[in-house]
Structures are given as structure tokens and as C-alpha cells.
Amino acid sequence: MFERYTEKARRIIFFARYEASQFGAECIETEHLLLGLLRESSFLPSINSIKYIHRRIRALTPLREKISTSVDLPLSHESKRVLDYSVEEADKLKHEHIGPEHLLLGLLREEKSLAANLLQECGLSIARVREDIAARGVDSSASPGKALQTKLLKYLESYHKELGASATGPHIYVSLPSTAPFLLIEILSPVARFTEVRQRIEENLAMGFRYVWLFEPGADHVYLATQEAGLHEFKGTVLRTEDPVLELPLAEVF
């Protein structure tokens, strides 16, 4: 049943089961799926919304004696429909996997459920979530983020044959033939958290990368980070490194 589920989606189901057992519920309800989703997804607009949902579920759900987590809890009828809708949503988007975003859409489609009501109260709608999924970048092969990454790789490979450039997730790693890491390029997701991005930059510079370039597809913002100068927005037209000189005219990729 869960073959198409990503690791995150599987964890959501696991946590939903855990939440149901903590409330002493006889089956896994949509609100338990929502609580599971909150642990794994960054789709909700703010921490205030997350706190609000927790508060409302605690207020609206009867708290019974906890059930051991070893007891197998079935899904409620509503929750089963949520999972069916999630599959439909993934199929509609031509996604092979089922991830947190599809489960979120599934919850919203079960319109009369407590989970859907709470999500709507936080301003989420099916249309808005679908928009967010489309804007998310590298998750989809046709996204602006993926397209930008492909252009960057192509340019780097043709520009400097002896540089090693490889892509993993939203990152492109560029290394010199003789030494270790040199340049890290990251395609920023529209939902990337500022403090997390900054922390990753620091970790990568500490690992030996001399330059970090960050691209925000869609907004066409480019940021540059080095150990000496820290993080700053790049306002020029040609990104450049020293020793070796590597140049990237932004017009080539935007």
C-alpha cells in the first residue's frame, strides 16, 4: 500500500499512528494525520499556524487513556479517503512518489474533516497548495529550479573541462582537479528558511568550499558567500571566482 510513499510520507503515517495512540483513539483520524504532517512538512505558512493547530486539536479531541504503540490502529473512513485522494493528486501532477505535499492535498480534499477545517482556518486552500507545489523548484523535473540547475551544469561542464561538476539534489558541487571542494552552487527552494540556509553556508565554508553561490529561481536573486565577506546579494552581471578564475555570465542561465 505504501510502496510509492517517500520516506517522509511514511514517517507521517508512523507519527499519525503514534498521535492516535497518545490520544487513546480507536482509529487514526484526519487530525492525527495532520499532526504527523506537521512534524515533517514545511508547507504551513508560519509557526503561529502550527501552534494554533496543536492548540485546537487538543481542545477539540477527547483525551482518553493512552493505547500502547504496539496495538495496530486502523485508519478511519475519512483517513482512508485522504490517502486515496493523495494518490489521485500525485497522479494528476504526474509524480511517481507520494510525499507530504500530496497528503496535505488529500487532507484538504476531505472537506468536512477536522483537519481540513483547521488547515482552511490557517489560510490554506487546495488552489494555494497546488500553486506552492508548482513553485517549489527542484522537486519537479519541469520546475524553474531544475531548469536552472541543468543550464548551470551545462555551462560549467563546457566552460572548464577539467573542473569536476556534479549535482546532488538542489546542489552542484564544483571541485578542482588537484584539491578538494571549491565552489558550491545551491538552487534555493522558495520555502528555504533563512537561518537554515545561513547555517548550511557556514558548514560548507568550514568544510573547505571557497565560494558558495545561491540562486533563487523565479526571483532571479543571486547571493554569494565567502569566508571573508560572508553572505551578500550579487548585483553584477558576471559571477567570478579567483584562483582559478571561473566566470559565469548570469545571462547564460537566467
Partner 1 sequence: MPTGTLISVEQYLATSYRPDCDYVDGRIEERNLGELDHSSLQTAVAVYFGSRQKQLGITVVVEQRVQVSPTRFRIPDVCVVVGKATEQIFRTPPFLCVEILSPEDRMKRVKERIDDYMAMGVSYVWVLDPSGRQAYVATPAAGFHEFKGDVLRTENPVLALPLAEVFA
CA angle (69, 107, 30) in 5-degree steps: 35
Exposure of 191 in the CB half-sphere (CA atoms within 13 A): 17
The C-alpha cell 488552489 sits at 127
> Smallest gap, in angstroms, from Cβ of residue 57 to partner 1?
17
Rounded CA-CA distance 140/147 in Å is: 10
Q: Name residues whose C-beta falls within 8 Å of residue 111's C-beta, 6 or more positions apart in sequence.
A: none
Taking Cα atoms as reference points, which of 86, 113, 121, 124 lies closest to residue 29? 113
> Smallest gap, in angstroms, from Cβ of residue 34 to partner 1?
17
> Smallest gap, in angstroms, from Cβ of residue 43 to partner 1?
12
> Smallest gap, in angstroms, from Cβ of residue 39 to partner 1?
15
Measure the CA dihedral 49/52/56/57, to 10°: 60
Nearer to partner 1, 68 or 195 (CB): 195
Nearer to partner 1, 156 or 217 (CB): 217
Nearer to partner 1, 89 or 216 (CB): 216
> Smallest gap, in angstroms, from Cβ of residue 189 to partner 1?
9
Nearer to partner 1, 138 or 225 (CB): 225
Binding site for partner 1 (CB under 8 A): 45-49, 51-52, 120-125, 128, 188, 190-195, 197-199, 216, 219, 221, 225, 229-233, 235
> Smallest gap, in angstroms, from Cβ of residue 87 to partner 1?
25
Nearer to partner 1, 127 or 245 (CB): 127
Query: At CB < 8 A and 24+ separation, what contacts does 82-91 make?
Result: 82/30, 82/33, 82/106, 82/107, 82/109, 82/110, 82/113, 82/115, 85/109, 85/110, 87/4, 90/4
Rounded CA-CA distance 138/136 in Å is: 7
Nearer to partner 1, 76 or 143 (CB): 143
